[in-house]
Amino acid sequence: VTARGLIVLLGIGLGACSAPPPARHELYVLHTLVTVTLPDDADGAQLALVERTLRAAEARYTAWGEGELARANAALARGEPATVSRELAAALQDARALSVASGGRFDPGVGRLVEAWGFHRDDRADGPPPDATWLAAWRADPPRIHALTIDGATLSSARRDLWLDLGAWAKGRAVDEALTALRTAGARSALLAAAGDICALGDKHGAPWRVGIRDPRGAGVLTTITLADGECISTSGDYERGFGWAGARYHHLLDPATGEPARGLASVSVIARHGAHADAIATAAFVAGPEAALATAAMLGSPAALLVTSSGEQRASPTLAARATPP
Ligand code: ADP
Ligand code: MG
């Protein structure tokens, strides 16, 4: 469960202001803790709108259980085509394009791999990793989102072992959708954070929204960043979900090429104009590893990125360094 926030929300504004502080609300949705910060005088309808939008996104994009994507996955696994909403078809088009651009480091085709590792459950207990034979078979011929045909609203695939998991894209997308809903309803200011996927609407009493990027190995904040209206920041961290076995720890950010947790990094944060893209780019950069992460993020449209390696070394791209304020 991603209950420990990846990013620390700071309760301080930049400018001096006499206005009352914004009010923070917490929701449990998308299998994670979502923090909704709204102006003190926002009416209750805004919070209700955010919650409704996030729950609709959860129902549409969750790979397992009852929702729309889960039903489509079950049809594909039976070897049948699936008819989906325009929204889900568009989501899969977007995710597939990002997957190709990332060289398959972000690949929603990992559903069966996520299941084999037990990360499709919120409460993966300690226990052995998948057996070596299963992982070798995965590596030999992994099902990729590339094996999905999207023809209008109809999904089909020749591979019955293709199980789509939008977990690395959907929290960012859900925040995008909630932000758009708020904007359409006339809201002028909000900060929405689904664990490590955060987007800003407007500003806070005339000063930009400011968020802190958490130290992946400590309790503190590495640096703080301002977000312009409509900007998003996402962090993928190895501490967010995992389990231990035989003295080793395994986390939920899987390298589709090896079938195992990606090595070398503790966290990656990236800034982008869309929450879904920030979310997927952070995952792709994490999988790319310490040497390629910043270049991968830049190539995918996020020149502002910050990483922390497994050994605790910090590296920021010049674009991010220029707008960061150390605590
Ligand atoms: P978090 O969910 O902690 O914010 P991410 O956004 O990086 O982290 O998403 C991780 C989730 O995405 C995993 O729980 C799994 O469901 C899925 N996933 C893991 N590895 C990959 C990958 N390489 N490409 C696409 N999805 C992945
Ligand atoms: Mg992600």
Nearest partner of 189 among 3, 20, 8, 317, judged by Cα: 20
**205 in the Ramachandran plot: left (φ > 0), alpha (ψ -120 to 50) or beta?**
left
Residues with CB under 5 A from ligand 2 (ion): 168, 236, 279, 282-283
Rounded Cα gap, residues 168 and 175, in angstroms = 13
Q: How far is CA 222 from CA 26, 218, 264, 270, 314, in A?
A: 24, 9, 19, 14, 9
Q: Which atom of ligand 1 is nearest to the CA of 196?
A: 4
Distance CA 273, CA 318 (A): 18
Helix boundaries (H) for the chain: 44-61, 68-77, 86-101, 111-117, 132-140, 170-184, 275-288, 293-299, 318-321
C-alpha 256 to ligand 1 mean position (Å): 11
32 Cα nearest atom in ligand 1:
2
CB count in 10 Å sphere of residue 302: 28
What φ, ψ does residue 159 adopt, rounded to 5°? -105, 115
Does ligand 1 come within 6 angstroms of the Cβ of 104?
Answer: no
Please state the length of the chain: 327
**pLDDT tens, 179-194?**
999 999 999 999 999 9
pTM of this structure: 0.94
Distance, in Å, from the CA atom of 175 to the CA atom of 251, rounded to the nearest integer, reads 24
Q: What is the 230 CA–ligand 1 centroid distance (Å)? A: 23
The CA distance from 8 to 269, in Å, is 13
Cα gap 272→72, rounded to integer Å: 29
Q: Is 114 in the pocket of ligand 1 (CB under 6 A)?
A: yes
Q: How does pLDDT run along the chain (327 residues), one tens digit per residue?
A: 333 445 555 544 444 456 778 899 999 999 999 999 999 989 899 999 999 999 999 999 999 999 999 999 999 999 999 999 999 999 999 999 999 999 999 999 999 999 999 999 999 999 999 999 999 999 999 999 999 999 999 999 999 999 999 999 999 999 999 999 999 999 999 999 999 999 999 999 999 999 999 999 988 999 999 999 999 999 999 999 999 999 999 999 999 999 999 999 999 999 999 999 999 999 999 999 999 999 999 999 999 999 999 999 999 999 999 999 987
